[in-house]
Amino acid sequence: MTVPRLVVAAPSSNAGKTSVATGLIAALTARGLAVSPHKVGPDYIDPGYHGLAAGRPGRNLDPWLVGEDRIAPLFLRGALHPRPADVAVIEGVMGLFDGATRPSVEPGFASTAHVAGLLRAPVVLVVDASSQARSVAALVHGFATFDPGVRLGGVVLNRVGTDRHEAILREALGAAGVPVLGAVRRMEELHTPARHLGLIPAAERSDAALATVRRLGEVVAAAVDLDAVLALARSAPPLDARRWDPSAEVAATQTRPRIAVAGGPAFTFGYAENTELLEAAGAEVVVVDPLRDEALPPGTAGLVVGGGFPEVHAAELSANEPLRADMAALAARGAPVAAECAGLLYLARELDGLPMCGVLDVATAMSPRLTLGYRAAEAVTDSVLAPAGARVRGHEFHRTHADPPAGTDGAWRWSGSAHGPRPTQIEGFVAGSVHASYLHLHWAGSPQLAQRLVTACARRSESVRAHR
């Protein structure tokens, strides 16, 4: 199956690849093309900007979370659903060859280069040229020759100062044999606001985010040879894979339970495939915004509260007492509840001293330390999400802490870190029908999680109807 595609990478983080990738998506969409946006790695924030630019969900491609064999099928799911795309743009993560640093995995695993190889996609390298001239040729030459399995198809120079600076860079790169596809000037007005976990999600910036995306598209359209970019994308060979189908991963329940999923500006972290798996398993998914909605949808049989920034919206979340009480009552009735990271904070007794839902007797607060990294975890306790002993792969990404960090019945255990062995850690809470943890999970890598949760919700719905 042939889908024109390319990967936007960089020698390191902070080179501007998110701005260039988002601008490419916006510029190609403005040409009338259907663009499928993707992001290498577990990051939730960049796909939000990609989705704004493309008008369809940005999807993640992470071999650690879902396995190497699912990368091409998941890519095809995004590229062909809800309608076939004319071109796909895949933004990389960190530097081109930077991958998982756990001792148990091979160097470069889950890197941008790894995913580019799995997708047989050409790479466009975004180079921050602000502090270099002829040295750019040595840099690009090194990236072009470091791994013969990576096809570097072109360079976009970013943060170029003047016409003279651009001429020097182009002349130097002429001898490197890698085409210069464009040169973007320094433009501070396109700076995207950031805070403790990176860029502010697009959903929180609303009109401002739309304006930024539109302007990025205009800048890239003026500075980059889009025809050359499309020609490079169309040079990608066919993929020998079938698109991922959520209905082939799970079996639909006979009962159609209604599952509320937290959304809105405070809960913006989620993978599109998680919801698709819930629906394929038979659930009716309804989004609830804890900042605005004062009650769960009628007939709610289960609840999923994913990641986001409740710490930024803590006062507003706390002020919405009716919904907090409704969520606590739902959990008290035994309805299945699955929460991760931000969801754990919201279900806690308090967040930074402000009352939350009180489903869990735990206090949470901001922390000066960033917790970030991949985890290979094992379920400690039978829950609505996983049986004890089930193994999953996930990631942590937070600047908060919970006191205590685990309940009497913990959710997950894992050992080891990016920097070497460490004692086994038990984390999270299983309390009745509630499963809450800091661990983020991509359910396409473990579809049985969605199956088990929906089945538990279906049983709950049947039980409630039987006792009416």
Taking the domains of the chain in order of start, what are their residue ranges?
5-234, 246-466
Task: Please tell me the predicted confidence (pLDDT) of residue 419.
Answer: 44
pLDDT in tens, 372-423: 899 999 999 999 999 999 999 999 989 999 999 999 999 999 975 544 445 6
Residues 120-150: pLDDT tens digits? 999 999 999 999 999 999 999 999 999 999 9
175 vs 423 pLDDT, higher one: 175
Catalytic residue among 341, 348, 380, 444: 341
- CATH topology (fold) of 5-234: Rossmann fold (3.40.50)
pLDDT surpasses 90 at 278: yes
pLDDT band with cut points at 50, 70 and 90 for residue 370? confident
72/92 Cα distance (integer angstroms): 15
**Confidence label for 185 from pLDDT (cuts 50, 70 and 90):** very high
Q: Which fold, 246-466?
A: Rossmann fold (3.40.50)
Residue-level pLDDT at 199: 56
Six token digits for residue 271: 């993978």
pLDDT in tens, 301-334: 999 999 998 888 999 999 999 999 999 999 999 9
Alpha-carbon gap, residue 4 to 89, rounded angstroms: 9
Please say whether the beta carbons of 379 and 389 come within 8 A: yes
Closest CA to 24 of 48, 7, 2, 45: 7
Q: What is the DSSP letter of 254?
A: S
Cα angle: 9, vertex 12, 16; to 5 degrees? 65
Structure tokens at 368: 């000066």
Percent of the chain at pLDDT > 70 equals 92
Output the CA–CA distances (angstroms, integers) from residue 318 to 111, 253, 439, in the order listed: 39, 35, 23
**Do 246-466 and 5-234 have the same topology in CATH?**
yes
Strand ranges of the sheet holding 123-128, from the earlier edge strand across to the other edge: 59-61, 35-40, 87-91, 5-9, 123-128, 152-160, 180-185
For the chain, what is the mean pLDDT?
A: 92
What's the gap between Cα 403 and its chain centre? 27
Is 357 a catalytic site residue? no
